[in-house]
Amino acid sequence: MTKKETIIAIRDIFDKVYADAKCSLDFGTSHQLLVAVQLSAQCTDARVNTVTPELFKKYRSVYEFAAANEDELCEIIRPCGFFKTKGKNIIASSKRICEVYGGNVPDTMEDLLSLAGVGRKTANLILGDVYGKPSLVIDTHAIRLSNRIGLVASKDPVKIEFALAKIVPSDYQTRFCHQLVYHGRAVCNAAKPACSNCPISHLCKKKNVKKSV
C-alpha cells in the first residue's frame, strides 16, 4: 500500500471515528483565533480557553488589541506562560493588521508570517480554519503520529508539512490534522499508545512501538 493509499484508508476511518474533529480553541473571529493560537505556544488549549473569555471581553476587536496597555493585557494572559513575549507579539501583530491589512487577518502564508509571533503552524491554522485553504498544522500530535504511522521519517515540522502535502488530498488536509489531535489524545498518546484499541492499527507501520517517537 502506498502512502497516498494509506491516507485514503485512514480518512475513511477517521471520518467516522472523529467526524466532529475541529480546532479545540474557542474563538468567534479570525483575529480571536490568531490570538488564541499565539497564546497556545507551550500551553494547553484547555488553559487558553479559560483565559480568552476575559481577554476577548476586554478587547473586542483587533483595534482594541492594537491599542491595549501591555501590562494590563499581560496580566490577563499570565496563566498561559511566557506572557510578556506573547503580550508584545499580540499587540505588535494587531497593530500591523490594522496598519497594513485594514483590520483584516491576512490570508496568505507570506503575509501571516510577517506578523509578530506567527510561525508556519499558526499561519496554517488560520489558512485552513478561517479561509478554507489547503493547509497542514504540524503540531506535536502530527509529528508523533505521522512518524509512528510511517508517513514520514522526520521530526522537522517544515519537512513533515511538505512531505504530507504530497500525499494528503488538499480537501482533507485541515480535517486530517484536527483528527490527528483527537487520535493523539484519545489513543496514540506520547507515553503509551493504546495500539490494541486503535482503529487504524492495521495501517500503522509502528503499531508495536514501545517508546514515543
**Amino acid occupying residue 90:** I
The Cα–Cα gap between 109 and 103 comes to 17
Residue 43: name the closest of 85, 93, 105 by CA. 85
Looking at the annotation, which residues are catalytic?
121, 139
Q: With contact defined as beta carbons under 8 Å apart, do 17 and 119 qualify?
A: no
